[in-house]
Amino acid sequence: MEYLIAATIGLLTAAGIYLLLRLRSFPVIVGLSLLSYAVNVFIFAAGRLAINSPPIISSAAAGYTDPLPQALVLTAIVISFGMTAVILIMALGAYLGSGDDRINLQGPEGADIAPAATADRGA
């Protein structure tokens, strides 16, 4: 089982990083999600892999599995879910605004000149 888990984490991470490097917002967001799945499984495995044991010390069971990583994973899942929602909305806004989903900042001459003064400050 260790090999399976390790291979899964490795595969998810590799796929996530590959997608991150695509510079288009949709693949980047999917890549970030894959990375967060990978890290969630990784945190889970950090508490050692134990099968069929309760996450609490009990006289009825032979051993126990570490409950703390499970709590950490829960926190990490909630946070990464929220963050994915935020970046999704922002990417949608950027896409609908410019009709282009490139994630890198560049473009013609003016792009790195202060944020379009007319649009922001004049309003």
Partner 1 sequence: MTAMLSSHAMILPVVLPAMLAPLIAMAMRHDLLLQRIFGLAGTVLLVILSMGLLWQATVSGPTVYRLGDWPAPFGIVLVLDRLSAMMVGLTSFLALFIQLYVIGTGWDARGKHFHALFLFQLMGLNGAFLTGDAFNLFVFFEVLLIASYGLMIHGAGQERLRAGVQYVAFNLVGSTLFLFALATIYSVTGTLNMADLAVKVAALPEGEHALIRVCGVLMLLVFAIKAALVPLQFWLPGTYANAPGPVAALFAVMTKVGAYAILRVFTLIFPPGVAATGPLFADILMPAAIATLVLGAVGVLGATSLARLAAFAAIASMGTILLALAAFTPAATAAALYYLLHSTLAGALLFLVSDLVLDRRGTGTLRGTAHPVAQSGLIASLFFVAAIGMAGMPPLSGFLGKLMVLDALRSTATLAWTTILVTSLIMILGFARAGSHLFWKSAAVDDAPPDHPPEALAITAAFGLVAALVALAVFAGPVMGWLQVAAQALHAPAAYIAANTLGIVP
| Binding positions for partner 1, 1-60, rule CB under 8 A | 20, 25, 28-29, 32, 35-36, 38-39, 42-43, 45-48
Please calculate the CA angle 99-104-110 and round it to the nearest 5 degrees: 75
Binding of residue 67 to partner 1 (CB under 8 A): no
Show the site string, 86-115: x = touches partner 1 by CB under 8 A, - = not: xx--xx-xx--xx----xxx-----xxxxx
Is 3 or 121 the residue whose CB approaches partner 1 more closely? 121
Which residues form the interface with partner 1 (CB under 8 A)?
A: 20, 25, 28-29, 32, 35-36, 38-39, 42-43, 45-48, 68-69, 72, 75-76, 79-80, 82-84, 86-87, 90-91, 93-94, 97-98, 103-105, 111-121, 123
